[in-house]
Amino acid sequence: MKKKEAVIDTEPSYGPAPLFILSFRQRDELAELAAGAGWRVVAARRAAGAERRFLTSGAAVAVIDARGALGEGREAASAIGGAIAANGGALLALVSRGDTTAIGDFYDAGATHFLASPFSEGEFLQALRYAARHAERMAGEWRATAPAEPLGWRLDVTTRSLLLTPGFARLLDVDEHPKLVALWRRIDPTERRAAMASIRRLSATRQATAFAHDLPGLGRIVQHLQYDVKTGRIDALVEPLGSAPEPASVLRDALIGTRDAGSARRWMDRRLADPDGRPLTAMLVALNRFDMVNAAYGRAAGDALLRAAFKRIEEAASGALVARLGGSEFLVAIEDGGSRVDLVAERIVGDLARPFVTGETIAVLGCRIGVAGREPGDTAASLLRRASEALADARASDSATVRVAEAGGREESIDVLAVELRHAIDRREIDILFQPQVSVPTGAIVGVEALARWDHMLLGTIGADILFAAATRADLEIGLSDHIQRITLERAAAWPAALHGLRLSLNLTAGDIARPGFADLFLDRVDASGFPRSRLTVEIVESGLIEDLGMAATLLATLRSAGVRVAIDDFGTGYSSLAYLKSLPLDYLKIDKKLAQDITGTPRDRVVVRGVIDMARSLGLVVIAEGVETQEQLDLLAKEGCQIYQGFLRSGAISIGALVGLMETAP
């Protein structure tokens, strides 16, 4: 970056606001510079989980610093671009001077502004200013009643003194220095728990968060919180989500705006403002592997794929509003709920799983879908944000293709779980179930995969995805992973004689792999439990969670030399499949559920599955198929050379007692 220059008018025109910055550099000078210019910076260093972090930051402007990290920058832009388009924001991409030819890729992914190095501090801050103005204009298209001045407050944690902005004080009809309890009482009692959980999350290691609630006179709002460690203050930016309907023909706009994201959002706002309260469901559809195809075959092939995907989605969602949001994400808005939405989602998943043919190119994409249904007080902004969060969950999931945002907001449920999780770990409420792995040739159960479950008093049975989301919120990822490993090994070491011949598969997280000295710690844990290393397999997920393949390869080689076997899980869902196979010491390859189920699809589907199995076996890997549900799937997988399967055809995840009973009836 060049020498500092004088800066004029760099403060965001709408007052202090959140800014999301993703940088892969050791020292993020951009975050320091933006914070000094009055932005409330939420900084990230990893592409994994970028979409989730951007959404929860409440920011309208995102910055991706791709200088020296072009591949990671492209991946992050693809992840965030859809959320930018869905929520009417701006994305500033920073590239090295020699990488300006990649600007088109960033634009296709959803970037709205660009800056090539070298650039001065003044030029960077000016670019931020223009990006913020763009976000304002985008929001103005469908947030017509947005306030003209900043709404927010500041709390000194030590003295508990509270200061409101003049606009917020006038809106609430209170003094600018009210008592904290007066502001607290404005929040509905049913939403105070989530609000308190958000405030308690703030710490030196987690300096930004947000929560949503209704506010009399303003409707639904989001409060974006940022904690200043040095001053001990909490700053809050209040974002109103309400909007007024525009006078126009709903039907005409639905027809005219089906291919325009802005028109689609305005149409949704009008439907949500209609007092009839009819159902409205937002469905965000993101194509898998599109970036890989686009990079391999060029933009022309990529554009053709997007047009073909749009057509398939329109046909599958007949009668619904469909729009492309940007990048490889699409919006489907359905004036219905329940079984109609389930049917549309099922059709879209099936249609997008079929191979696409453009010219001489054959591409298998698939998709992930996030779904959110209308709730009281919703606007297009709040409904689409929940759908974006559900889509982020689907992308982060090991196996889920469709995620539905929970009624009342998934965030509130995770907030509750995050508060209670430490006590649940201490009280050993996290249980372990075991899903059988079955030999294809003999039908005998040869192993099991350990799966964590929490039977929550209010929320019912909670699986590993939600468990680890809550653990992330509570900064307990390592603690939860350690706990699951310990109790799984303890349970397996105490198996009755009927289970003594089974292999045990145990999942490792990306956080485990990145921990210094984890191999020695893990092996000590295995030996202390008494479970034999020779019957243990560790599974790692293939969906882009491992950032340093060299570090992962070293760790796994150490475990393998100690007698532990290694499996790559959910193969076929991420972008780095071949790199994983070349770099990591593996014994097993587990085919992703969706890929395994494609075996009963078209002849082309079977060619893809056959290619994966042949490639794995040529590398000396045992192939395990997940999610096998029908005898037809099993028969075709057997013909292609699959050696082991797991799925509901034989059994779901079960207790040790049920597993013993199943073993007694097994061949």
Judgement on whether residues 404 and 270 belong to the same structural domain of the protein? yes
- Yes or no: say if 356 and 309 are a contact pair by the CB < 8 Å rule: yes
Whether residue 216 is predicted with pLDDT greater than 70 in this model: the reply is no
* Alpha-helical runs (H) found in 150-223: 166-172, 180-184, 189-201
Candidate from 92-96, 104-108, 311-315, 484-488 with smallest mean pLDDT: 104-108
Q: Please identify, among 91, 110, 141, the residue that sits at the C-terminal boundary of a domain.
A: 141
pTM, two decimals, is 0.46
Q: Give the CATH number, domain containing residue 92.
A: 3.40.50.2300
- How far apart CA 576 and CA 1 sit, in angstroms, is 32
Q: Give the CATH number, domain containing residue 203.
A: 3.30.450
- How far apart CA 652 and CA 628 sit, in angstroms, is 10
129-139 per-residue burial string, b: 16 or more CB within 10 A, e: under 16: bebbebbbebb
The whole-number pLDDT of residue 459 equals 58
Residues in the chain: 667
Between these two residues, 412 and 519, which has the higher pLDDT value? 519
Q: Is residue 4 part of a domain?
A: no
Sign of CA dihedral 279, 280, 282, 283: positive
Tell me which DSSP letter residue 654 carries. Answer: B
Judgement on whether residues 134 and 215 belong to the same structural domain of the protein? no
- How far apart CA 184 and CA 180 sit, in angstroms, is 6
Q: Extract the tokens encoding 179.
A: 């008592």
Q: Extract the tokens encoding 54.
A: 């951007």
How does strand 367-373 pair with strand 402-404? parallel
Judgement on whether residues 49 and 160 belong to the same structural domain of the protein? no
What are all long-range contacts of 161-169, with beta carbons under 8 Å and residues at least 24 apart?
165/15, 168/238
Judgement on whether residues 161 and 220 belong to the same structural domain of the protein? yes
Whether residue 248 is predicted with pLDDT greater than 50 in this model: the reply is no
Distance of CA 253 to the CA centre of its chain: 31
Q: Is residue 2 part of a domain?
A: no
- Could you tell me the pLDDT band of residue 58, with boundaries at 50, 70 and 90? confident
Whether residue 399 is predicted with pLDDT greater than 70 in this model: the reply is no
Judgement on whether residues 404 and 436 belong to the same structural domain of the protein? no
- How far apart CA 238 and CA 226 sit, in angstroms, is 12
Side-chain-facing half-sphere of 51: CA atoms under 13 Å? 31
DSSP E strands in 318-474: the ranges are 321-326, 329-334, 356-358, 361-363, 367-373, 402-404, 430-439, 445-456, 460-462
Whether residue 497 is predicted with pLDDT greater than 50 in this model: the reply is yes
Candidate from 3-17, 89-103, 373-387, 410-424 with smallest mean pLDDT: 3-17
Q: Give the CATH number, domain containing residue 343.
A: 3.30.70.270
- Could you tell me the pLDDT band of residue 149, with boundaries at 50, 70 and 90? low
- Yes or no: say if 110 and 138 are a contact pair by the CB < 8 Å rule: no
Q: Please identify, among 191, 210, 240, the residue that sits at the C-terminal boundary of a domain.
A: 240
Distance of CA 398 to the CA centre of its chain: 11
SS3 state at 635: helix
Judgement on whether residues 69 and 48 belong to the same structural domain of the protein? yes
Between these two residues, 651 and 339, which has the higher pLDDT value? 651
The residue whose two tokens read 């909007």 is 243
SS3 state at 502: coil
- How far apart CA 194 and CA 186 sit, in angstroms, is 14
Q: Extract the tokens encoding 61.
A: 């402007």
Q: Is residue 325 part of a domain?
A: yes
Q: Is residue 81 part of a domain?
A: yes
Percent of the chain with pLDDT over 70: 83
Range of the domain at 223: 152-240
Judgement on whether residues 466 and 502 belong to the same structural domain of the protein? yes
Domains held by the chain: number: 4
- Yes or no: say if 35 and 379 are a contact pair by the CB < 8 Å rule: no
Between these two residues, 210 and 154, which has the higher pLDDT value? 154
Q: Please identify, among 121, 141, 161, the residue that sits at the C-terminal boundary of a domain.
A: 141
Total Cβ atoms within 10 A of residue 407: 11
Q: Is residue 146 part of a domain?
A: no
Judgement on whether residues 461 and 600 belong to the same structural domain of the protein? yes
Angle, helix 477-493 to helix 518-529, in steps of 10 degrees: 30
The whole-number pLDDT of residue 13 equals 33
Candidate from 291-305, 364-378, 395-409, 634-648 with smallest mean pLDDT: 395-409
**Which residues are CB-neighbours of 80 under 8 A, at least 6 positions away?**
22, 50, 51, 54, 62, 64, 91, 110
Judgement on whether residues 402 and 276 belong to the same structural domain of the protein? yes
Q: What rounded mean pLDDT belongs to the chain? A: 79
Whether residue 559 is predicted with pLDDT greater than 90 in this model: the reply is yes
Between these two residues, 450 and 247, which has the higher pLDDT value? 450
* Alpha-helical runs (H) found in 274-323: 290-297, 299-316
Judgement on whether residues 533 and 614 belong to the same structural domain of the protein? yes
Q: Is residue 528 part of a domain?
A: yes
pLDDT in tens, 311-322: 899 888 887 888
pLDDT in tens, 316-346: 888 788 888 777 889 999 988 777 788 888 8
Q: Is residue 362 part of a domain?
A: yes
How does strand 503-507 pair with strand 445-456? parallel
- Could you tell me the pLDDT band of residue 301, with boundaries at 50, 70 and 90? confident
**Closest by CA position to 372, among listed 592, 55, 634:** 55
Between these two residues, 259 and 399, which has the higher pLDDT value? 399
The residue whose two tokens read 């007694």 is 664
The whole-number pLDDT of residue 37 equals 77
**Which residues are CB-neighbours of 655 under 8 A, at least 6 positions away?**
433, 434
Judgement on whether residues 526 and 609 belong to the same structural domain of the protein? yes
Q: Is residue 5 part of a domain?
A: no
Judgement on whether residues 391 and 530 belong to the same structural domain of the protein? no
- Could you tell me the pLDDT band of residue 564, with boundaries at 50, 70 and 90? very high
Q: Give the CATH number, domain containing residue 654.
A: 3.20.20.450
Burial class for 617, CB neighbours closer than 10 Å (0-12, 13-18, 19+): middle
